[in-house]
Amino acid sequence: MPLGQRVVLIGGGHNALIAAFYLAKGGFKPLVLERREMAGGGAITEEFYPGFRASTLAHTTGPLRADIVRDMQLYRFSCEMLSPDPRVFAPAPEGGALFFYNHVANTAAGIAQFSEKDARKYPEFAESLEAISEVLSQVAAMTPPAIDKPSPEDFWNLFKTGRGVRRLGKAGIFNLFRWSPMAVADFVAEFFETELLRAVIAARGIFGNALGPWSAGSTAVLLLRAAADAHPVGSAAFPRGGLGSLTRVLAESAKEAGAEIRVDAEVAQIRVKDGAVTGVVLKNGEEIAGEAVVSGVDPKRTFFHLIDPSQLDPVFANRIKNFRAKGNVAKVNLALGGLPSFSALESREDALRALSGRIHIGPDIDYLERAFDDSKYGEISKAPYLDATMPTILDPALAPDGKHVLSVYVQCAPYKLREGHWDLRRRDLSLTVINALGAYAPNLSSLVEGVQVITPEDLETCYGFTGGHIFHGELALDQLFTMRPVLDWARYKTPVRGLFLCGSGTHPGNGLTGASGANAAREIIRELR
């Protein structure tokens, strides 16, 4: 394709915006079409109750890959990143709490109050994770190799990764291959004896997925996340103004590079003729021609809602059909009239600072597993694992003076309920969340002024995540790397000529890192040229 030709991108999520930037820099004319009134996808800021704004869905960054931040020169735009320390506050049911700081030594000192042995082990664990993360970050940045006919570049990428693996040493290599298929419960048990410590770290291997800590391969998910942030509990950073501030500057950078972004422009159909795309048709009937189409929405929506199924090879269509994408997470945003008092912080002078990062509710491995057990049988977890933030502590402008926002990821909440309908269970979910948090902050229920409940069904109908899956498809061993989304089609291309994927349903599909969008853009530019 000659340079200067139009490339149409479907969806205005962070991966599509990043892909649009690189396509514009590559000499093409990207046009981003977003169905909602704002770009941002799962990284948006909205008012959910009068005077209260929140990061509606995602509430922390991935973080974005450093080379993307550098290439897009995001430092030139007004987007202040807030980095709380501690990153995570994890209260214990019997009192006390664990605090995970940016510095290993500070965290280990707190762990010593629970276990001297674990305090000694924590630096060793952090060091092991960091060493492996350096290798896996290379894997996350590469295009999965072609299985049948690897290219010279595939061999070179594998060679570079192999060199990184060799630097791990014999013990490190052994651990990498042994840990990946393990249940994350077994993984953390190799290092620690404190249940709360095990649970906080293990939660990273199940977050956002239909997995429990005893699910095989959940350690692979934890290691994949460590590729983006090697800290044992991951990222807690967020931009001032909420996640919408981040996607706003991504959009500004993309437009400055030459991309066009249209909102309120829902794509109803991808036009295909003789096995190749010719453009798209909007819901209002407008037709937009394009020499290539890049879908930033999930694979199932792309192939089963936007394309005539008769255009697909039956084998490929069946593989996409079997791509697991049933969500297991809901979101509850609370408008609070004041600051909740956590029992574990009553005697601490730095209580406010302790609440500035993420709040982990899930005191032990069995608790996390029981939460998952409920969802396996179509029930809302009676005692859910919660990942919460109070962004108003560092960013008070998100709420009226003296008031706060509490943003809560709720797991496990199955997409398909065994009994009842999600519209009838919203109140049940909000009460479950308030009660679960109230066990640690007794005054919480008296502070609630407003509630927004976003169910897995809402994630599908309102925000476009098929099956309500926030990662566009399950992160599991059989749906990663060369098998994401399906075997033979993990290189961002599709069987339809000129149609590409750039969303989280592609490798590495790991939240708000931008890796899928940047990787896809590299392959799209190469293919179109």
Across the chain, which distance is largest between two alpha carbons, in Å?
A: 71
Report percent pLDDT > 90 for the chain.
90
Residue 459 contacts residue 472 (beta carbons within 8 Å): no
**Cα–Cα–Cα angle for 485, 520, 506, nearest 5°?**
20
Which pLDDT does position 149 carry in this prediction? 81
Looking at residues 415-429, what average pLDDT do you find? 94
Which pLDDT does position 167 carry in this prediction? 86
The predicted model scores a pTM of 0.96
- The boundaries of every CATH 3.50.50.60 domain in the chain are 6-42+66-75+242-324+472-528
Counts of helices then strands in the chain (DSSP H, E): 18, 19
Cis preceding-peptide flag for 400 (omega within 30 of 0): no
Whether 1 shows a pLDDT value over 60: the answer reads: no
Report percent pLDDT > 70 for the chain.
99
Place of tokens 């009838």: 424
Looking at residues 97-119, what average pLDDT do you find? 98
Written as six digits, the tokens of 62 are 């991935």
Which pLDDT does position 5 carry in this prediction? 85
239-264: per-residue pLDDT in tens? Answer: 999 999 999 999 999 999 999 999 99
CA distances to 235, 253, 385, 471, 526 from 261, in Å: 29, 11, 37, 23, 23
**Cα–Cα–Cα angle for 275, 278, 279, nearest 5°?**
130
Place of tokens 């800021």: 45
CA atoms within 13 A on the CB side of 36: 16
Which pLDDT does position 237 carry in this prediction? 97
Residues across the chain: 529
| Domain 6-42+66-75+242-324+472-528 class in CATH | alpha beta
- β-strand pairing of 385-389 with 358-361: antiparallel
- In DSSP notation, 208-252 reads TSS--TTSTTHHHHHHHHHHH--STT----EETT-HHHHHHHHHH
- What average pLDDT is seen over the chain? 95
349: confidence class by pLDDT, cuts 50, 70, 90: confident
Place of tokens 């061999």: 155
| Nearest Cα to Cα of residue 83 among 102, 68, 108 | 102
Residue 474 contacts residue 328 (beta carbons within 8 Å): no
Can you tell me whether residue 30 is helix, strand or coil?
A: strand
Residue 332 contacts residue 454 (beta carbons within 8 Å): yes
Three-state SS for 352-391 is HHHCCCEEEECCCHHHHHHHHHHHHCCCCCCCCEEEEECH
353-404: per-residue pLDDT in tens? Answer: 999 999 999 999 999 999 999 999 999 999 999 999 999 999 999 999 999 9
> What residues contact 467, with CB distance under 8 A and at least 6 apart?
300, 325, 326, 327, 415, 456, 460
4: confidence class by pLDDT, cuts 50, 70, 90: low
Which helix (H) or strand (E) is 82 found in, with range? strand 81-82
Alpha-carbon distance 368 to 365, whole Å?
5
Residue 107 contacts residue 101 (beta carbons within 8 Å): yes
Q: Count of CB atoms within 10 A of residue 274's CB?
A: 7
Can you tell me whether residue 292 is helix, strand or coil?
A: strand
Which helix (H) or strand (E) is 267 found in, with range? strand 267-273
Q: Listing from the earlier edge strand, what are the strands of the sheet with 385-389? A: 97-100, 88-91, 358-361, 385-389, 404-411, 330-336, 448-454
Task: Tell which wins on pLDDT, 156 or 338.
Answer: 338
Whether 529 shows a pLDDT value over 90: the answer reads: no
472: confidence class by pLDDT, cuts 50, 70, 90: very high
| Nearest Cα to Cα of residue 174 among 126, 214, 132 | 132
Which pLDDT does position 221 carry in this prediction? 97
Task: Kindly report the backbone phi and psi dihedral angles of residue 501, in degrees, each rounded to the nearest multiple of 5, phi listed first.
Answer: -115, 145
Residue 294 contacts residue 501 (beta carbons within 8 Å): yes
CA distances to 304, 364, 507, 513 from 301, in Å: 5, 37, 17, 22
